């Protein structure tokens, strides 16, 4: 999935959790695990995190700008049971949603 231009969607407050594996790979061990961001959708939340922590980019996108299939998003799912499909990465989030970004396994 190529990086997509964000539509003018309503931005909401979202609590974003970065998985321990992704934090470790990106050398963010000393950084908080949970962040508050203002964004419209899961993909925009990821972009905000990549702006804050560029070291995550190599684990999120390939050299052609394609989102790696190992990046998984979970919305309001603390048990990480149902990752959202790629066609919902730009689906609007609701104020107060909790997003978890995981570096998954195939």
Identify the pLDDT of residue 52: 94
pTM assigned to the model: 0.86
- The answer to whether the beta carbons of residues 14 and 92 sit under 8 Å apart is no
Residues 76 and 15: their CA atoms lie apart, in Å, by: 10
In a domain, 6, yes or no: no
Cβ atoms < 10 Å from Cβ of 49: 23
Residue 48 CB-density burial (10 A; 0-12 exposed, 13-18 middle, 19+ buried): middle
Identify the pLDDT of residue 5: 53
Identify the pLDDT of residue 30: 87
Identify the pLDDT of residue 9: 75
Mean pLDDT by 10 residues, the chain (106 residues): 58 96 90 94 96 94 94 95 95 97 82
CATH number of the domain within which 28 lies = 3.10.20.30
Structural domain boundaries, residue 36: 12-103
In a domain, 84, yes or no: yes
Number of domains comprising the chain: 1
Beta bridge partners of 36: 15
């Amino acid at each position: 999935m190529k990086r997509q231009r964000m539509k003018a969607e309503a931005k909401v407050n979202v609590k974003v959790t970065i998985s321990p594996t992704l934090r470790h790979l990106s050398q963010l061990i000393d950084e908080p695990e949970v962040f508050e961001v203002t964004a419209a959708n899961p993909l925009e939340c990821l972009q905000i995190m990549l702006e804050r922590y560029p070291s995550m980019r190599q684990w999120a996108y390939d050299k052609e700008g394609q989102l790696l299939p190992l990046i998984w998003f979970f919305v309001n799912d603390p048990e990480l049971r149902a990752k959202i499909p790629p066609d919902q990465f730009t689906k609007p989030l609701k104020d107060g949603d909790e997003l978890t970004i995981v570096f998954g396994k195939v």
